[in-house]
Amino acid sequence: MGSIWELDFYSRPILDENQKKVWEVLICESPTDVSANPESLFRFAKYCPSSEVNSGWLRVAINEAVEKAPSPPVRIRFFRRQMNNMITKACTDAGIAVQPSRRILVLYKWLQLRMEEVYPNEPGYQGGTNPSVRLDAPIPQRLPDALESEKWGFVTLNASDFAEMSEWDIGFGEAFPLSMIGIEDSTKIPGILLFSGRALPLAAWMSGLELASLRFDPSLNGRLVLETGATESWVLASTRTPQMQSEASSFEAAKQKASGVHFIGVQSSPESESFAGFWLLQDVVLP
């Protein structure tokens, strides 16, 4: 499997000599397993004048990044829905598959760092926020009947347990090094396990959705909502009893203590020692 990249192309809180917003493309490599070294992940940054903001400029920048990278990506992720057409065309013209996704953990941290340490030192910096265009999220969809799990339950692992994740028997999945988040080995990482006689088809379906996060939403009749892609969400399960709702609330509280880190596992039964699917996730508040 080749590398996956994360991309952002948007204006920054910097004005040029003509008092026009300076744009920038950021490209970085996604970690896909717990053993990845965050310091060795590929990164590329380049400013773009506002007068040249188009898919052609972006395509050239992507090609420049490909030339500098150790290897070309098999896919590029991006999260800004309002830039969908331009980014999709640029990536397609560059011959690279592209997918809207909120799984942009490295890019998210990099943007935060640049907002705090890089842009304020640039000529023409304008303090304050650099808001993105907010678009309404759609109502969570119901899972296809054939993919609903027969049983499910909340579980907890220590952060140190994930050091051996690369040795687990996993069919589909994705992870990232917890060192990137900076949480201690003793931190409790909450998660959910789904059990299904169709575990492999369920895991295969989930693997194509660009999983972002899982959340308990009391306002939606106590449903567990799986966030995927750039905007999509799915009702993964419902908490029908006060005890289940209490466990779901504890799940959310544990996520906050773990910097938003959590996981989803798919197994054929509680007795299984392998996973049809396993994803390490983190809540991210996008700009």
The model's pLDDT over 34-54, given as tens digits with 9 standing for 90+, comes to 988 888 999 999 999 999 999
Last residue of a domain, one of 75, 92, 121: 121
> Quick one: pLDDT at residue 137?
67
Clarify whether residues 153 and 236 are in a common domain: yes
Q: Is the pLDDT of residue 132 over 70?
A: no
Q: Show the tokens assigned to 190.
A: 């909450």
Please indicate, yes or no, whether residues 194 and 278 belong to a single structural domain of this protein: yes
In this structure, the answer to whether residues 188 and 55 fall within a common structural domain is: no
Q: Is residue 133 a part of any domain in this protein?
A: no
Does 127 fall in a domain?
no
Kindly state the average pLDDT of the residues 222-230. Answer: 91
Residue 172 and residue 44 share a domain:
no
User: Same domain, yes or no, for 111 and 148?
Assistant: no
Shared-domain flag, residues 94 and 178: no
pLDDT of residue 267: 96
Residue 146 neighbours by CB distance under 10 Å: 10
Task: Judge whether residue 133 has pLDDT over 60.
Answer: no
Mean pLDDT value across the chain: 92
Give the confidence band of 134 by pLDDT, cuts at 50, 70, 90: low
Tell me if 129 is assigned to some domain. Answer: no
Residue with tokens 């972002």: 212
| 92 and 202 belong to one structural domain | no
Q: Is residue 116 part of a domain?
A: yes
Least confident of 132-136, 187-191, 228-232: 132-136
Helix (H/G/I), strand (E/B), else coil: 186 = coil
Largest CA distance in the chain: 66
Return the pLDDT at 148. Answer: 78
**Lowest-pLDDT range of 56-60, 131-135, 156-160, 281-285:** 131-135
**What's the CATH code of the domain at 36?**
3.30.420.10
How far is the first Cα of the chain from the last one, in angstroms, to the nearest whole number?
A: 30
Residue 247 within any structural domain of the chain = yes
Q: Please report the pLDDT score of residue 248 as a whole number.
A: 94
Q: H-type helices in 137-278, by residue range?
A: 199-207, 242-257
Average pLDDT over residues 249-262: 96
- Are residues 49 and 178 both part of a single domain? no
- Contact indicator for 60, 42 with CB cutoff of 8 Å: no
Pick from 188, 42, 46: which is nearest to 106 by CA? 42
**Shared-domain flag, residues 27 and 103:** yes
Residue 221: the pLDDT is 81
254 and 180 in one domain? yes
- pLDDT of amino acid 130: 60
The predicted structure's pLDDT at residue 84:
95
pLDDT above 90 for 124: yes
Is residue 146's pLDDT more than 90? no
| Closest C-alpha to 280, from 260, 257, 269, 264 | 264
One-letter amino acid for residue 26 of the chain:
L
Q: Do residues 108 and 149 both lie within one domain?
A: no
Using an 8 Å Cβ cutoff, are 257 and 187 in contact?
yes
Whether residue 11 lies inside any domain: the answer is yes
Same domain, 270 and 156: yes
State residue 167's pLDDT score.
Answer: 93
pLDDT tens for each residue of 85-120: 999 999 999 999 999 999 999 999 999 999 999 999
Measured torsion, CA atoms of residues 34, 200, 252, 219, in degrees rounded to the nearest 10:
150
| Residue 68 pLDDT class (50, 70, 90 cuts) | very high
Query: Does residue 256 have a pLDDT over 90?
Result: yes
In the predicted structure, residue 2 carries a pLDDT above the cut 90? no
Asked whether residue 189 is assigned to any structural domain, the reply reads yes
Residues of the domain holding 63: 3-121
Report the pLDDT value the prediction gives residue 71, as an integer from 0 to 100: 93
Q: Residues 238-264: what's their mean pLDDT?
A: 94
pLDDT value of residue 143: 81
Flag whether 134 is in a domain. no
> How many structural domains does the chain have?
2
Given 89, 121, 153, the domain boundary residue is: 121
Percent of the chain with pLDDT over 90: 78
The answer to whether residue 181 scores a pLDDT higher than 70 is yes
